[in-house]
Structure formats: structure tokens, C-alpha cells
Chain A
Amino acid sequence: MKLEGKKAIWNDYQKEIADDNYYYVRSCVRQNFFPGSETAFLKIMREELNKDVYEHPCHTSCSGIGYHSDIVPVETTMTIVARQFAIMTEAGYENLMPSCITSFGLYTEILDTWHHFPEVEEKIRRQLKKATGREFEKPKNLAHASDVIYKFRKEIAAKAKYKLINKNTGEPLKVVDHIGCHYAKMFPSKGVGGAEYPYVLAGMIEEWGGRIIDYPERRHCCGFGFRQYLVQANRGFSIACSKEKFESMMPYKPDMIITNCPGCPMFLDRWQYVIKEMEGKRYGQNGEGIPVFTYEEVAGLVLGYDPWDLGLQMHQTDCEPVLDKIGIEYSPEDKYNLEVVPSLSGRHKLINV
């Protein structure tokens, strides 16, 4: 493989990412499955990088999950998104930063639709005004939270306590990067690195000391996609997609997987357990699974945050092998300690425990 060829393509797909004053919109499902991720992100942005990240309590789900499940009609979704923009405008912000990849894809798609069909935009403005009395300005900059971390990866590397290197062998960790489909595949020009060889996560890993694995099914969807797995019997298709990826990456012996979508790590993490139950197969070394992380968790780990504060105990596939390889200090006995609620803003004692 010739890296210069890839680098040439990465140069072709650069995008504008705002450098401060972000309006943050959260993900519906991420906070359940990976509770530490968004908190870690906000801590990194506000305390480590001194950025202004604003969240408004009135913001809702973008309804992308309903739209992609064929439950919410597109005009309703557009009006909901218009409301998100209205709240952002009211708060005085122009740089939209969604936490979820599907949200990012949805916002990009809607802005693109309105660009080509201004009459639709007009209609949505009228609908929003009628329904809520709100008016909005379109965001000047739309960047996914992983784009922002990518932009500041060098600053994070400068403050990093750990590197993604195996402390026993001195070799960089082998990392598989998995990009959400809605990030690059829908509008390749809106993704860092394009659709074929996305660079947003690869850039982070390289800067933090790891080594990216390029394997044949790199581009394959993990199978999330909403519509196919809502019905229980259809989940066979979803799990088959993840399995295809695992089979393809196994010969490369990866140490960990990094993702930027909320759904992908949930699938890649949980499906490893399901495949082990159904077929008895494991994809990691020494009969283990391959730990799956969100990029916020990886950023938090290299900065030295406590793994249990980051919420890693909620992962189905144990993360300890990677923590040990990197040499991160953590206390195994505190993993499920319910007496203390882990939190990045300080430890709180639970009341009535």
C-alpha cells in the first residue's frame, strides 16, 4: 500500500470546520449506551481547549431516527430541524455541532435540499412559524463533533498523558477506524478525507500514536440503519453486516476499534457478544473480543481520564486488555462500585444507597 496515494486523496477532501462558539446538539441514544462520551467531550472542549460550547435545554431529537425508519415524514423532520436552527439562532450561535452522525447527515441533507429547492425552505419557514412562532437562520458552519476533535487533535496530543502504544512491545496499537455511513457516504465532499478513505478518525489515531489498519471491508456498513433492525426478525441482516467486518479485520489482529457514530459502536460492541453466544466465535486475540470505543472515549483515555468515569464499564466487550496495553492506571475493584457515582465533574456519593 502506498500511503502517498491516500494522502493525495485526503488533501482533496478538506472541509471548513469552525474553531470556536459551537452550538452542541446531543444524540438520542448515545447517552444510554456510552454515557461518558458526551460528558468527556464537553469537558475536553471546555476545560482542556477553552472553547465555548453552548447547549440549550429546549433542543430535541432531530428525529433522524424516525425519518430513517420511515415513521416520520420528511417535512415533519425538516420542521423539527428548523426548530433546532431557530433555538440556535435565538441563542446567538452560527456553528452547529451535532454529536450524532445521523444528525450530521440529516442536517447536511436538509441544508442541501433547501439549497436546491428554495421553495421547500420557504414552506418549512412558514410551517415553523405557524406551529411555534419561531424563526431561524441557517447555520453558517456545520461540523460533526468528531471533525472538531480532528481539528484539535494536535492540541490534545500535546496535553496527552498516554499514547496509543503497546507499552510492552513499544509498537503502536493497531486500530481499526469505522466511520458512520451518514458521515461520508451521503455527501463525500462534506467529510474529511472523502468517502473512500475517510481521514477524520485516522488523523486522530495517527496523531495520538496508533497505527490505522486498512482491511478489505473497511467501507462496509455495520448494519445499524434503523429500519432493518427495528423488527426483531430482521436483525439477522444487521448482525451479518457486522460479522462481515469482523471476519475481514480478524487476520490483521487489531487491538481496538474506534468509531464516530453513536449506533456503530453499540452494534460493533454488542454484536460480538451475540456472535459468541450464537456461533461461539471471538475475533480478538487470546479468545477475547476487540474492544470498541467512541472517539471521545479515546480522547479521554489519552488525556488520562479515569476509564470508569468515561463509562467504559458499560461496554459489553471488555476494554481492560487495551487499557493494560497502553498502561493506563485504573482500579479494577471500582468498576462496578455503586457507592460512588462516577462522573467527570467529580465523584458524588449516591443518596440512599
Chain B
Amino acid sequence: MNKFGFIITAGRQIDYESNNRGLAEYIFENEPSFRLCIECGGCSATCTTANFTGFSLRELNILIKRGENDQVRRNLKKCMLCGKCTLVCPRGVNTRNIIVLAKKAFLKSDEYAI
């Protein structure tokens, strides 16, 4: 409560242990190439949506891996599924499938959502 004219600032650290990594594990299982991502950002560079919104597939991949599922869910709808990212990836990750699987995961179970 704001009794003194300020609130206690919340920390912004990623708390690795407390986060729910169920979404990440689901995607790793169903799309093994996800493991190869080195977050080089080639996908975000070519992305049609990234040009005009705050969407970044590279960032999304990290958030998935760290279990920051809330932010993932909010951003998923921005992807147009054009597939340019998959063409560019130097490691051969099936990037489009990551978006598709993430959407599936959120539809299937509220467990991965916050």
C-alpha cells in the first residue's frame, strides 16, 4: 500500500528456478531443432513483423527457454507465419514450428500461461 508516497520497486531479475519451463520442454520435445538456436538474431532481422512492432523471434526464443511464458503468449499473435525466418536460420532451426507449437501449447493448457 502506498502509505509513504512510494511503492517498493519490484525486482526484474529472471528467477530461473521459480519459472515454469513446461512450455520450453514441450517445444524441445516436439521440435528438436529448437535446441540448435544460438540466438544470432538472423530470424528477427528478416522478420516482416519485427519491422513494425516490438516482436522479435530471437527474444521470444530466449523467453521460452527461460520460462517467461506470459510475455511469450502476448507476442505470439503478432507472427504472420510467413516463414522468412526459417529460410535464414544458419543453424537449421524450424523457427516457424516454434510459433505454431507455442500457440498449440497455450490453447491446450492454461498451465503454461500465467
List chain A positions with a Cβ less than 8 A from chain B. 232-237, 239-240, 243-244, 274-275, 277-279
Contacts and interface: CB of A to CB of B under 8 A. Distances in A.
Contact of B4 (A234, A243, A274, A279): A274
Interface of B: 1, 3-11
A239 B11 contact: no
Nearest to A244: B11
Contacts of A243: 8
B1 A232 contact: no
Nearest to A240: B9
Contacts of B10: 240
A234 B8 CA distance: 9
Contacts of B3: 277-278
A239 B8 contact: yes
A232 B6 contact: yes
B98 to A, nearest CB: 35
Nearest to A237: B9
A263 to B, nearest CB: 18
Nearest to B7: A236
B8 A233 contact: no
A277 to B, nearest CB: 6
A223 to B, nearest CB: 10
A251 to B, nearest CB: 15
A236 B11 contact: no
A278 B1 contact: yes
B54 to A, nearest CB: 25
Q: Is the interface of B mostly helix, strand, loop or mixed?
A: loop
A274 B8 CA distance: 10
Contacts of A234: 6
A232 B11 contact: no
Report the 10 A-B pairs with minimum CB-CB distance, sorted nearest first: A240-B9, A236-B6, A236-B9, A232-B5, A235-B6, A237-B9, A236-B7, A239-B8, A240-B8, A233-B6
Nearest to A239: B8
A233 B11 contact: no
B11 A235 contact: no
Contacts of A277: 3-4
Contacts of A233: 5-6
Nearest to B5: A232
B42 to A, nearest CB: 37
Most chain A beta carbons < 10 A, residue from B5, B9, B11: B9
A54 B43 CA distance: 69
Contacts of A237: 9
5 contacts: A233-B6, A243-B8, A244-B11, A274-B4, A278-B7
Nearest to B10: A240
A275 B6 contact: no
A141 to B, nearest CB: 41
B70 to A, nearest CB: 21
B75 to A, nearest CB: 27
B55 to A, nearest CB: 30
A8 to B, nearest CB: 31
A240 B4 contact: no
B5 A275 contact: no
B5 A278 contact: no
Contacts of B6: 232-236, 239
Contacts of A244: 11
A80 to B, nearest CB: 31
B8 A275 contact: yes
Contacts of B4: 232, 235, 274, 277-278
A117 to B, nearest CB: 37
A244 B13 CA distance: 12
A236 B11 CA distance: 11
Contacts of B5: 232-233, 235
A274 B6 CA distance: 11
A232 B3 CA distance: 12
A244 B11 CA distance: 9
A243 to B, nearest CB: 6
Contacts of A279: 8
A275 B1 CA distance: 10
Nearest to A280: B1
B83 to A, nearest CB: 44
B11 A278 contact: no
B14 to A, nearest CB: 15
